[in-house]
Structures are given as C-alpha cells and as structure tokens.
Amino acid sequence: MASELRVNTLKDAAGNNSIATSFVANGSAKSFINFNAATPAIRKSFNVSSLDDNGTGLFDVNFSSAMGDVNYTLTSGSGDTGSNVFHIAFAGDNTTPTAPATANYPLKLANAAGNAFVDVPFSMASVHGDLA
C-alpha cells in the first residue's frame, strides 16, 4: 500500500518557508509539452496522452488526466535557431477547436508577422489549473 501523508502546511525544518499544500497542488503545472511541430514528435511531456496534427501549425494537445474545467491557463514559448521567430497562440482556427476543453487544448503556431501558420521546430506549452 502506498504511503500517504495528509497535511495542510509544509515548512522547512527551521519552521520557515511555510507553504500550504493547497499552493503546492494549485501551483504545480498540470501538463507541459515540448514538441517538434514539423515531424510532429513529442520530445518531452507531462500529462499528455497524444498530439493531434490538424495541418500546418495547427495542433490539439490531449491530456492523459482531464482538467476539472476549461478555465485553466496556458503559457507557451517557441524556439528556433534560424532568423525567424514564431508565436504560439492559445487558439485554433475555423478547422480546429477554438477554445480549451477539459480533455485537450488547441495550439496555433504562426509566423512572426502573424499572417501564416507554420510548423515551429521547438513548440512548448505548460498548463496550470484544476485537475478533474
């Protein structure tokens, strides 16, 4: 049987740096992903079951364990070793879901000018919010 500790507050041994366990649960990322959009291939992920490729620059990231509601947050980043820089938006377009769901969220990868979808070599996102 797995051991389980039920506690409301964590402190260091000196009694400092107090943090409520509710902050631990709420402050922990519930999912993250780093993927190559061109392949596509997931390099590293947490609480991600799969990645749907809906076309150039259009993806759905599917959770292994669903979120409790659709009001979670997403932070994203991209990386490229070339001269171009890209954005990742928390949205799809008319052909993909345009809003987050409890089971997944859409990512749209656009070029720096925002006028074309692109497959970014390093696409990254992390999610904070409530698990189901």
Partner 1 sequence: MSEILVNKLTGTSTAGSILVTGEGNSTTTNLQQGLAKCWGHFEGSDATLDDSFNSASLTDNGTGDFSANFTNNMGSVSYTGSFQSDDASNTNASAFADSSIRIQTRNSVNTVADRDDTIYTTFGDLA
Contact footprint for partner 1 (CB under 8 A): 2-3, 5-15, 21, 24-26, 28-30, 32-34, 43-44, 46-47, 65-66, 68, 75-81, 85-87, 112-113, 122, 124-126, 130-132
**Closer Cβ to partner 1, 1 or 94, answer by number:** 1
Specify the residue, 36 or 96, whose C-beta has the smaller distance to partner 1. Answer: 36
With respect to partner 1, which residue has the nearer C-beta, 85 or 99? 85
Least separation in angstroms between CB 31 and partner 1 = 9
Query: 76 with 88: CB under 8 angstroms?
Result: yes
Annotate 36-84 with DSSP letters as a single string.
ETTTTEEEEEESEEEEEE-STTEEEEEESS-BSSS--EEEEEEE-SSS-
Q: Is the dihedral of CA 81, 84, 90, 93 positive or negative?
A: negative
